[in-house]
Amino acid sequence: MGTSGATTGQIPSIVKIETSDIQAAAARLMADQHPDPYHAGDRFLQAAGMLNLDLRWFWGVPGADQTGEFNQVLLAMVSAGRTAMLFLSPPPHPKGLWRPSGRGVEAVAEARRALWERQGLLEHALPCLATASIHPGRPGVVLAQALLEPPSLALVEAFAASGFRRLGDLAYFRKPYVQSIPASLLKREDAEKRTCWPRGVEVVPLDQVGMRPGDNSTDRLLAEALERSYVETLDCPELCGLRSIEDVLLSHQSVGTLDPRLWWLVFVHGKPAGCVLFSVVRETDSIELVYLGLGPELRGYGLGRSLMNHAMQRIGDLALSARGGDVLHGLSLAGGITLAVDTRNVPAVRLYREMGFQRTGIRIPLVKSI
C-alpha cells in the first residue's frame, strides 16, 4: 500500500456509509474484537438494531483494491445536549484476517497512512456534525468526545493530531445491589438518623421540588446547582464552559430512563448548591450514578457519603414497592449500581472505594469543541 497521500498533504478519499456498505463498515469498526471482523461487525449491527442506535453519521475511507472493504471508518453517535461520541476504527485483531502486511519500514509506512486516514475522517466529520440539523431548534453538535480503552496509542495519536484534548482518565466502578432494610420497617429513631442533614441543608427529590414554596422551575434550579458544583471541581474540570448549562442538563436527562424520584437537589439556606442524579438503565438492569456534585460550601463534611447512602436506601424502597408502569418495575438490578469518575478526583475515588464499589475499567477521554 502506498503512502504518498500521507506525505504530500492530500486529503484521503472519504465517503458517507450507505446501507449497502454498512456490513463492511461495521466489520472495520469492530475489527479488533474478533479474528473474523465480519462476525464482530454483524454482532454490533444486531445490538445496534435492538437498541435503535442511529448509524447515520458514519464515514469511511474505501480500500484501494475495490473489494468493498474500508481502510478506516468513523462512527459518530449523536446524543442530547448537542454532543457526539466518536468511534474510530482500531488496529485489527492481532490474529485476525486484516493483520498488517508489512514489517520494518513498510509497517511504519502503514501506520503513517492509517494516522493520515483517521485524521482525515475526523477533520471531515466534525464540520458535518457542527452544521447538521440534529435537534429541532438546536442545530449542530458543539462538543465531540471519545472514550478509548488504554493503551489505544494509535487512536489517541489520531485524535490529538485533530486537536482533541485528553482529560484525566475515567475510572468505571460497580457495586452489587443489595436490598437494605426498608425505611418503613426501621425504628423511628433509626429512620430519622438516615435522613438527618446538617443545619440549613435540605435534600429534596425532583418530583417534590414543585411542592416547595417559591420558585418551582426545576430546570433553573438544577442549572444553578450544577453551576455551583463546578466551582473548583476535581472531576474533569476541563469540561467546564465547553457547553451551555442547558446542553449539560439535557445530556444528563438523556442517560437511561429519567425518574424524578431518583434526582435530588441539595439546598443550603434555600439556595441550590448541589445535586445527586441517578438513572435507570434497563438494558443492563442497573442504576447509574449520572452525576454527584456539591458546591464549595458543602464539601468536607461527609455529605457526599450521606447523599449516596440516602439515595441507595430510597432506590431500594422504590424498587420494593414498584408496580406495573413504574420505571423500576420488573428490574432485579442484577447489573448493580454503576458510575464513572475522574481518577484525579481523589476524594471521590476514595469515597466510592470505601462504600464498596469495585473498579471495572479505565477509559481515556478526549474532547473537542466544534
- Residues 120-170 have pLDDT tens digits of 999 999 999 999 877 666 678 999 999 999 999 999 999 999 999 999 999
**Residue ranges per structural domain of the chain:** 4-166, 171-362
Q: Which amino acid is at 230?
A: Y
User: What CATH class is the domain 4-166?
Assistant: alpha beta
Question: 5 falls in which pLDDT band (50, 70, 90)?
Answer: low
Cell 432506590 belongs to: 315
Counting residues of the chain whose pLDDT is more than 70, the rounded percentage is 89
Q: Is 132 left (phi over 0), alpha (psi -120 to 50) or beta?
A: beta
Q: How confident is the model at residue 330 (pLDDT cuts 50, 70, 90)?
A: confident
Considering only residues 97 and 128, tell me which one the structure prediction assigns the higher pLDDT. Answer: 128
Whether 171-362 and 4-166 are alike in CATH topology: the answer is yes
Cis peptide before 136 (omega within 30 of 0): no
Q: Which CATH class is domain 171-362?
A: alpha beta
Q: Of the spans 182-196, 199-213, 231-245, 309-323, which averages the highest pLDDT?
A: 231-245
Check residue 215 and give its pLDDT: 55
Distance, CA of 55 to CA of 141 (rounded, Å): 16
Residue with cell 469492530: 30
pLDDT at 268 over 50: yes
